[in-house]
A and B are shown apart, each in its own frame.
Chain A
Amino acid sequence: MKLIKKGAEAYLYLDDWYGIKVIRKVRISKQYRVKIFDNYLRKSRTLNEAKLLFSAKSIGVPVPAVFDVDVTNSTIIMEFIPGVLLRDYLPQASNKELRQLFEVIGKYVGLLHSNGIFHGDLTTSNMILCNGKPFLIDFGLGGFSKEIEHLGVDIHLMLRALESTHYKVINECFSAFIKGYSQVFNKYNLVLRKVKEIRLRGRYVIERRVKK
């Protein structure tokens, strides 16, 4: 068992599971949190993530397959996806490539949303590019909902991630994302309107002062 990533929330180990190369994702106890709350948070997120990964897989969204769940130890054993984080790949991608990638990602997210699944943390750090195909990972903050509010937050987070990390190519990426998203999800208009509303709720938003 080899530690390959120390994330903020969990440690990822590369492991062998009955002859299959797997990722053992262990949500680690946080010293800063009180014990009872720490346990509750880790267990509920582990279970949540496993359910979401399974559901996403079953509707055809590329995510790691779940092999086993150990809620007591806040552990998920899942498929190992070799590849590079989208965050690290984007800087060297051409504009054409960016558009293609984000259109595909938009389709996947649209597929999730039309099946009542939201990811909860859509950033380029939570996407792996494997043989040219983007995989979505880390569903710990996600959930099951068809409420436009939840879906809107997903899109808002995607936009925020682009703003803070990929600000140079934000227009390329986001317009392609929406292109893919709107092809798959028929309520995209409602969601995009909600995204605007969510952004206006933020602090110090100039547009809020402008009367409609």
Chain B
Amino acid sequence: MIILGIECTAHTFGCGIADDNGNILANVYSEYIPAKGGIHPREAARHHSNVAPKILKDSLKQSKVSISEISGIAISLGPGLGPCLRTGATIARALAIYFNKPLIPINHCVAHIEIAKLMCNAKDPLVVYVSGGNTIIAAYAEGKYRIFGETLDIALGNCLDVFAREAGLPHPGGPRIEKLALKGKKFIPLPYVVKGQDMSFSGLLTAAIRKLREGFSLEDLCYSLQEVAFSMVCEVAERALAHTMKKELILTGGVAANKRLQKMLKDVAKEHGAKFGVVPKEYARDNGAMIAWTGVLAFKSGITIPVENSLIKPRWRLDSIEVPWVESNYEIN
């Protein structure tokens, strides 16, 4: 079985191809980079429709399979930005109708988790998923991925990106902050907000920007911002790990590339005797391969959607989705 997956929830349009042995046969993507400011949904959607034909062709070429060998089209129907989701869904529906293939609805967050498990060879992990759009700590329990902590407002990656933009750093902001943080020497106290198992980054961002305008050193601020924000993620992850007693901890999403965060979470895992894994960069960021691979799993469980029902779901929560393909020994107390 070979599945074509299409990712288009935010800044990335990607096509991936996966088979049911867990081989990723192709992973091609293009990212919309705004000339200034953040992602403009309409402009991102325009970018996606412009690059789609080429990305699709390239992915087929890379995989060396023809469209006739494809068993189904998997599409990320949400969560994400409406115009982007609509563009991707339109392409997927057209392919499904024209080539008479089943359409498989995939949740973007589930896909991040599934590709993470595949890449790290993990069976039943606690997943720390941190990106520009999401900050979720989740693990499987009885049919669904349950959320054991998330952001109450903006995502971790969003917090870093906006701070970078305010500081006049060029795109992408996260890696620049990471570099500058290495030169930071003085720790500047910033608001640390953990409410139960949830985190809040908006106050931290505002405070960091204010300090920047007050003339504090950018290097020190990058350092402190990272330390405080990552400590919040680590604390919540650590408590989730203690609570669920999972023996694997996996880091994924765009911010997973950050070496400092990797180191901190590795320490957390070590303390609780859990195996630690980081998803390789090209599969940690938004990509089509993760949609394809999750499409394989879903299709095997008989999950498809008629084209006329394949509405996009911009607010599709991770913990609302049944994942019948996950086999786990985890028993909730």
A-side residues, CB < 8 A to B, are 6-9, 30-34, 36-37, 40-41, 87-88, 90-91, 120-123, 125, 141, 153, 156-157, 160-161, 163-165, 167, 198, 201-206, 208-209
Asked whether, in the complex, the Cβ of A34 is within 8 Å of the Cβ of B196, the reply is: no
Alpha-carbon distance A198/B153, docked complex (angstroms): 10
Interface centre among B142, B196, B228, B235 (most CB of A within 10 A): B196
B-side residues, CB < 8 A to A, are 78-79, 134, 141-142, 146-148, 150-153, 187, 189, 192, 194-198, 227-228, 230-231, 234-235, 238-239, 241-243, 263-265, 267-268, 271, 314-317, 319, 332-333
Alpha-carbon distance A123/B198, docked complex (angstroms): 13
Give me 21 A-to-B residue pairs in the complex whose CB atoms sit less than 8 angstroms apart, sorted by A's number.
Answer: A9-B238, A30-B231, A31-B267, A33-B227, A33-B264, A34-B187, A41-B192, A120-B195, A120-B196, A121-B197, A141-B196, A156-B196, A157-B196, A161-B196, A164-B146, A164-B148, A202-B150, A203-B134, A203-B150, A204-B79, A209-B315
Alpha-carbon distance A122/B263, docked complex (angstroms): 30
Chain A nearest CB from B330 CB (Å) reads: 12
Interface centre among A8, A9, A88, A165 (most CB of B within 10 A): A8
Chain A nearest CB from B74 CB (Å) reads: 20
Alpha-carbon distance A2/B93, docked complex (angstroms): 63
**Contact A32:B196 (CB < 8 A) given known A8-B242, A205-B315:** no
Chain A nearest CB from B41 CB (Å) reads: 16
Contacts of A36 in B (CB 8 A): 187
Contacts of B197 in A (CB 8 A): 121, 123, 157, 160-161
**Contact A34:B147 (CB < 8 A) given known A141-B195, A206-B315:** no
Asked whether, in the complex, the Cβ of A37 is within 8 Å of the Cβ of B227, the reply is: yes
Alpha-carbon distance A41/B192, docked complex (angstroms): 9
Contacts of A208 in B (CB 8 A): 315
Asked whether, in the complex, the Cβ of B187 is within 8 Å of the Cβ of A37, the reply is: yes
Contacts of A9 in B (CB 8 A): 235, 238-239
Alpha-carbon distance A83/B333, docked complex (angstroms): 17
Closest A residue by C-beta to B240? A8
Chain A nearest CB from B144 CB (Å) reads: 9
Alpha-carbon distance A98/B202, docked complex (angstroms): 37
Partner of A157, one of B195, B227, B234, B332: B195
Alpha-carbon distance A161/B332, docked complex (angstroms): 13
